[in-house]
Amino acid sequence: MNDITRKFLLGLPKREWDKTSFYDMIIIFNSKYKHSSGYAIMNIAGFYYEQGKGKFELIVSACDSINWKLNGLPLYNDMLYPSGLMRFFTKDCKFKIGLALSSIEIELIKESK
């Protein structure tokens, strides 16, 4: 996985925009272009197994935000332009973060009103 390049990802076959698909892994990367919203346009590539063989495809090359569905808790992310830094944010929740080790656990906690 560490040898995957941006050029490789951009050369992948493109998924139909109106298709629903399931992936074992996704890679989100900066397109280096600015959306009319002022945020960076993100590319998302997906990896899945089909008949025991690993396959990649380019899912989208046009989004400026992602709305994650996590057990009913709202999580969103966008990418700052031009830095390409990813920003995660939520409404009505807090990020709970414990020990800062090589793997870190981040939990989304619903705020009580």
Q: What is the DSSP string of 15-65?
A: PPTT-----SEEEEEEEEEE-TTSSEEEEEEEEEEETTEEEEEEEEEEESE
Segment 30-88, tens digit of pLDDT: 999 999 999 999 999 999 999 999 999 999 999 999 999 988 899 999 999 999 999 99
User: What is the mean predicted confidence (pLDDT) over 84-100?
Assistant: 95
Alpha carbon separation from 27 to 34, 44, 93, 111 (Å, rounded): 19, 6, 25, 30
Q: What is the pLDDT of residue 15?
A: 96
Q: What is the pLDDT of residue 112?
A: 81
> Predicted confidence band at 17 (pLDDT cuts at 50, 70, 90)?
very high
Report pTM: 0.90
